[in-house]
Structures are given as C-alpha cells and as structure tokens.
Chain A
Amino acid sequence: MIRAEHIVKSFDGRRVIDDVSVAFETGKTNLIIGRSGSGKTVLLKTLVGLHTPDEGRVWYDQTDFTALTFRDRKAVRKDIGMIFQGGALLDSSSVEENVKLPLDLFTRQSEAEKLERVNFCLRRVKLENANHLYPAELSGGMIKRVAIARAIVLNPKYLFCDEPNSGLDPQTSIVIDNLIHEITHEYNITTIINTHDMNSVMEIGEKIVYIHEGRKWWEGTKDDILHADNPELNAFVFASAMAKRAKAAVR
C-alpha cells in the first residue's frame, strides 16, 4: 500500500498540489484522473520521489519514504517500476539493453540468467524477437510495452504509470491497459496509473481518485463514478460526445 498524507507542492509560489491525502491499495489498479494541468503528474512524481513535497508524507507500506535519505531510498527504489508518458527508453540502447539495465545495476546474476529474465519479460509483454531493435525503430505501442518490460524486470512491489495510453490508438490503449491490469494481479503489485482516458477508467479502474485544481475532489470505484453527484467529476467523465450519448441512452 502507498499512502499520501496531506501532500502540498508548490512551484514558483503557485500551489499545484493542495493538501492531498489518499491511500492506494495493494494488488489493485489505482487510477489518478483529472484534466490536463490538474496536478496529477506532479502528484505522481511526488509519490515516486522525483519531487520533494513542501508538506506531508508518503508512506510505502510501513516506510516513511519522505524521511529517507537519497542513499536509503535506493532500497525502496529497487521495488519501484515506472512507465513514463513517452516510454523514456534510453535512445542509445537496444530493447534488450534497456530491459537488462536494472539487472546489470542491481543484481549479481550471470549474463545467461539476465538474458533469460529479459526474454521472459519481453515475452510477457508480447515482444519476442525485438531484442536488438532500438527505440527509434519501435512504434508507440511497442515503446510502451518495452517500458512495461523494463518496469517489471526486477519484480517490483509498486508500479507507477504516467499516462500510459497517451499517443496510442484506442485498440492499442486497451492492450496496454489490460497488460498493466494483468501484471498488477499476477504479481500483487500496488499500481498507480495517471490518466485522463475514460476508457482506461472503465476498463481497469479498481480505485479511482479524481484530482481537480490540485485537490482531491472525489474517490471511489468505476461503478461509483457513473452515479457520482459531483458536478466537476461529471463534467470530466461525460465530456466526450460518446459518453454523453451513452448516458442519454441509459436514461
């Protein structure tokens, strides 16, 4: 479980995250949703330690992550996998080298063992025979799948995904969503996904937190979200023409 307690984060005097407290559950796909600029990426980066909160604490199970030094955080970081919006693969490294990097840095496995693990993870994301391709040679969906393979190569306990579907077509988005969802259940990971894709919410959202203007506006499940009486949330959820039509049809 990951818990955020009263997180406040400002940039240049502007409060981007304003007193957010929320718990993300183990073995579930937890979604942070909100409009662009609502502060959800800053919240995610604060949870993962890329930003230091001005106030508040972040707990990884029983460990107060915010109280740890850079060196002590290393132990927790080995349990963290993260999928960035653009994949963030190292351009100068092949698919295999990208996925193998955490193993090179943090394990004492032999080359054969590392290769076996890399191939297992690539098979898991359905990317066999892509070992020697470079990021520039991959499609958007393939980049995301390599990023997932790299994120899970060390068997993380916590998985963070920053808009994993951005730039992908709806069908590929569903493939990526389902992959993350399956991996979360398979390895009992605490997964936190940052998204504004309502398809993802309805497909895999087991716990949903709605962020608006830097504050937590609402939290619940995907079943609750359709019946919520929060006007800001409703405006977000039913923003698309398709959602409006679906709602009208249900009525």
Chain B
Amino acid sequence: MLRLFAPIGRYFILMAKVFSRPEKAAIYRRRIIYEMEALGVDSIGLTAIISVFIGAVITLQMCINLESPFIPRSLVGYATRETMILEFSSTVVALILAGKVGSSIASEIGTMRITEQIDALEIMGVNSASYLILPKIVAAVLFFPFLTILSIVIGITGGWAISYLTGIMIPADYVDGLLMDFRPYSITYSLIKTAVFAYIIASVSAFFGYYAKGNSLEVGAASTRAVVVSSVVIMIFNLMLTQILLI
C-alpha cells in the first residue's frame, strides 16, 4: 500500500513546490514561450499527420459499415465529426503526446538531475521545481488545446478528402453530415479534457524525471514509467470527465 501512496504523496509535495511563488516573472515568461515551441509547435506535424489519416480511416470505416438504404449517407460526416471532437482529438491525441512530449520531459529533467544541473540551480537559490516544471505545465495547458482544434479541423478535412478522392460517398453528403445537429458544447468539453490531459502529461512526466537517480538507464526507465503512468491517468480522467461533463 505504501509503495502505491508514497509516490502520490511525493507528487503532491512536488506540485506544491512547483506552484510556489516564482522568482522572477520575466524569466518565466521567456521560458514558457520556449517550452511552447519545444512541446507544442514541434508536435504540430505529428498531430496533423495522425489526424488526417484517422479522419480518412473513420470515414472509410463508416462508409463500409453503414451500407444500408435506411441510413442516410450524411451520417458518415456526422459520425466522423463527433468521433474527432469527442474522443480522438482530445483523448487519443493526448495519449500520443504522452508518448512524445511526456518522454521528452521526463528524459530532459531526468538527465538534468543525474548531471547535477538541478543541484546547480538549487545551490544558486533557485526553486528548481518551479523553474523547470511550471513553464512546461503552463505551455502544455495553453498550447495543447490549439493542437486539439487543429486535429479536429485536419481530421474532418481528411474525411472529406478521402470521400472526394475515392468517390466512396458524395462529398456534399459528407458536408451535410458535418453540419447536422452540431452542439458547440462538444468543443468546450473537448478543450476542457485537453487542458486537463495537458496538465497530467506535463506534471506526471516531470515528476518521474525530477526524482530520477542513478545513470542513463534509470533516466530511460523513468521516461518509460512517465509515459505509462500518464497514459493510465489520462484514461481514468477521461472516464471521470465524461461522466461529469456529458452526463
């Protein structure tokens, strides 16, 4: 039991340190912008590629599986839109980013720990947890929702493109489906989930990196644990947030 709860306690102690008053706001602003580029802008390509293919595949699958004269073809566009907004662009993209961004955060901070860079900051009197982790959390929480919106737009476009290029359905029907029964709250729900997942990815990965010790093997192990635990926590919170926000 202690093995389970001790890391949770350490995580909250670390977060208390992370959210204590920063040394100098100007330094943090610069670091947040740097992290936005490192964690967010550099993930645009991956998000776009995955989203366009998933949007196209969802459309193809729907076309193949909803082959019935009683089901209007426009439902394919509707289903693609809802899948992208409600689950794929928030949850699945978050899981992918947990792999890319999470491992990068854990290995970066872990390497800083074993090469005494964190000790150097502490000696200078810097709150190393806040200095290193807070900008990553803020950057992720602010930037990941843009990735979600981008993923939704590109995924839906991918669906339209595959219907246009293969002729599996009439693109106009697809567009009709996209406009059918649209609820703006779905976007809000998706963005709230993304912000929570962004916090989980950045903070959990940073936690594993910050407490890494030993050698490069340990940093690798910390990075793997960060991805696994972030992914599990994301799935748990996905369930909870869906229950809270949609039902």
Chain A positions within 8 Å of B, measured between CB atoms, are 45, 48-50, 73-74, 77-78, 80-82, 84-86, 88-92, 101-102, 104-106, 160
Is B27 on the interface with A (CB-CB < 8 A)?
A: yes
Tell me the smallest distance from the CB of B193 to a CB of chain A, in Å: 30
A106 to B125, CA, bound (A): 9
Known: A104-B27, A105-B23, A105-B27. A80 touches B123 (CB 8 A): yes
Residues in A with CB closer than 8 Å to B115 are 86, 88, 91
Tell me, yes or no, whether B42 is within 8 Å of chain A by CB: no
**Are A105 and B116 neighbours in the complex by a CB distance under 8 Å?**
no
B94-124 interface bits toward A, Cβ cutoff 8 Å, 1 = contact, 0 = none: 0000000000000010011001110110111
**Residue B92 at the chain A interface, CB threshold 8 Å:** no
Query: Is B3 an interface residue when CB atoms closer than 8 A count as contact?
Result: no
- Is B126 part of the contact surface with A, judged by Cβ < 8 Å? yes
- Count, A-B residue pairs, CB within 8 A: 53
What chain A residues lie within 8 Å of B120 (beta carbons)?
A: 82, 84, 88-90
Chain B 1-42 interface mask (CB, 8 Å, partner A; 1/0): 000000000000000000000011011000000100000000
Contact A105 B124 (CB under 8 A): yes
Report the minimum CB–CB distance from B30 to chain A (whole Å): 9
Can you name the residue of chain B whose Cβ is closest to the Cβ of A77?
Answer: B125
Q: Is the CB of B124 within 8 A of A88?
A: no
- The answer to whether A84 and B125 touch (CB under 8 A), given A104-B27, A105-B27, is no
Q: Which residues of B contact A89 (CB under 8 A)?
A: 117, 120
Q: How far, in angstroms, from A77 to B119 measured CA to CA in the complex?
A: 12
- CB pair B116–A73 under 8 Å, yes or no, is no
- What are the residues of chain B within 8 A of A88 when measuring CB–CB? 115-117, 119-120
* Range of interface residues on B (Cβ < 8 Å): 10 to 19
Distance to closest chain A CB from B106 (angstroms): 15
* Chain B contacts for A48, CB-based, 8 A: 123
Q: Are A90 and B123 in contact (CB under 8 A)?
A: no
Given A73-B125, A77-B125, A84-B27 contact (CB < 8 Å): no
Interface of A is mostly: mixed
Residues A77 and B123 in contact, CB atoms below 8 Å apart: yes
A45 to B34 Cα, complex, angstroms: 32
B124 CB contacts on chain A under 8 angstroms? 77, 101-102, 105-106
The reply to whether A50 and B123 form a contact with Cβ atoms under 8 Å apart is: yes
B116 contacts A86, C-beta separation under 8 Å? yes
Cβ proximity bits B172-203 to A, threshold 8 Å, 1 near / 0 not: 00000000000000000000000000000000
Top 6 closest A-B pairs, CB basis?
A: A77-B125, A88-B120, A88-B116, A74-B125, A82-B123, A84-B116
In the complex, given contacts A49-B123, A105-B126, what are 12 additional A-B residue pairs having Cβ atoms less than 8 angstroms apart? A45-B119, A77-B124, A84-B119, A86-B115, A88-B119, A88-B120, A89-B120, A91-B115, A102-B124, A104-B26, A105-B23, A105-B27
Taking CB atoms and an 8 Å cut-off, the chain B residues in 21-68 that contact chain A are: 23-24, 26-27, 34
Least CB distance, B167 to chain A, in whole angstroms: 50
* Alpha-carbon gap, A49 to B108, bound state (A): 24
Interface pairs (25), CB distance under 8 Å = A50-B122, A50-B123, A77-B123, A77-B125, A78-B125, A80-B123, A82-B120, A84-B120, A85-B116, A86-B116, A88-B117, A89-B120, A90-B112, A90-B117, A91-B111, A91-B115, A91-B117, A104-B24, A104-B27, A105-B24, A105-B27, A105-B124, A106-B23, A106-B124, A106-B125
CA distance A49 to B126 in the complex (A): 13
Q: Once the chains are docked, how many angstroms separate the CA of A104 from the CA of B124?
A: 12
Q: Tell me the nearest residue of chain B to A102, going by C-beta.
A: B124
CB neighbours (8 Å) of B26 from chain A are 104
Chain A residues with CB under 8 Å of B111's CB are: 91
- Name which residue of chain A comes closest to B117, CB basis: A88
Q: CB-CB < 8 A to B108: which residues of A?
A: 92
CA distance A64 to B86 in the complex (A): 58
* A78 neighbours in B (Cβ, 8 Å): 125
- Complex Cα distance, B24 from A242, in Å, reads 52
**Given the complex, which residues of B lie within 8 Å of A90, measured CB to CB?**
112, 117, 120
Interface centre among B108, B117, B122, B123 (most CB of A within 10 A): B123
- Nearest B residue (CB) for A101: B124
Residue of chain A at shortest CB distance from B122: A50
